[in-house]
Amino acid sequence: MIKAIIFDFYGVICNEVGSNWYKTRAPQESLSELKSKYDQPSDLGAISEEMFFEGIGASVNASGEEVRQEWLDAAVLNKEIISLIQELESIYKLAICSNGPSKIFREILNEKEIKNAFYTIVCSSEIGMVKPNHDIYLLTLDKLRVRPEEAIFIDDREVNIQAAKELGIQGILYTNTPKLRTSLSLLLN
């Protein structure tokens, strides 16, 4: 019996802010260096959010504050997913399990006033581990107080879904909300 549903944030609840910024703003010749030097350490909490935005901002001759504001301005919540979350929150324990710098992530959640729908929120930079590391899923399950077979994980990246499935968590690869609703109804009924 399913007791909990775990959502990824970027790419499911919110659009892919970072990936889109890297595609449209970052110099493509230094993309892998930027991601290696700033993105990965930021996701792990190894560097501060300020260092992250200053570092990637320098690549486009912008201040860290300017780039951070670009990211905030670009963040758009998926209204269909928000509606689904509101339908599910009184029936299931809901969680977010997401990679990213936590300060801006939590700011988006607070601004959009949806954080109260979630029983727990696990952000990679706060705990020093990223998806698809099995430990981040196990921590999320522990916080939800459910066993793997009692949870569904929704993410837009196959590698993250596969890691969840390896632990016994049912996974749904998110492509669009109508398909997600269909997949959920099959697993929940």
Give residue-wise pLDDT tens across range 37-66. 999 999 999 999 999 999 999 999 999 999
pLDDT at 112 over 80: no
81 and 21 in a single domain? The answer is: no
134 and 88 in a single domain? The answer is: yes
A 10 A CB-CB count for 61 gives 7
For the chain, how many structural domains are there in total? 2
Percent of the chain, pLDDT > 70? 99
111, two tokens: 């601004």
Domain end point (choices 31, 56, 74): 74
124, 43 in Cβ contact below 8 A? yes
pTM score: 0.95
152 and 121 in a single domain? The answer is: yes
92 and 181 in a single domain? The answer is: yes
59 and 118 in a single domain? The answer is: no
108 and 150 in a single domain? The answer is: yes
155 and 98 in a single domain? The answer is: yes
> According to the 3-state scheme, what is the secondary structure of 50-87?
HHHHHHHHHCCCCCHHHHHHHHHHHCCECHHHHHHHHH
Q: What are phi and psi of 15, to 5 degrees?
A: -60, 165
59 and 152 in a single domain? The answer is: no
Q: Residue 61, by phi and psi: left (phi above 0), alpha (psi -120 to 50) or beta?
A: left
11 and 69 in a single domain? The answer is: no
Domain end point (choices 57, 74, 91): 74
Q: How far apart are CA 23 and CA 17, in angstroms?
A: 10
Q: Across residues 109-135, what is the average pLDDT? A: 92
CATH code, domain with 175: 3.40.50.1000
69 and 87 in a single domain? The answer is: no
Q: Does 112 or 132 have the greater pLDDT score?
A: 132
DSSP assignment letter at 14: B
For tokens 């909990």, what's the residue? Answer: 4
Q: Which amino acid is at 46?
A: A
pLDDT at 111 over 80: no
Instruction: Give residue 129's domain range.
Output: 4-15+76-188
- Computed from CA positions of residues 31, 32, 38, 41, in that sequence, does the dihedral angle turn out positive or negative? positive
Q: Across residues 159-180, what is the average pLDDT? A: 98
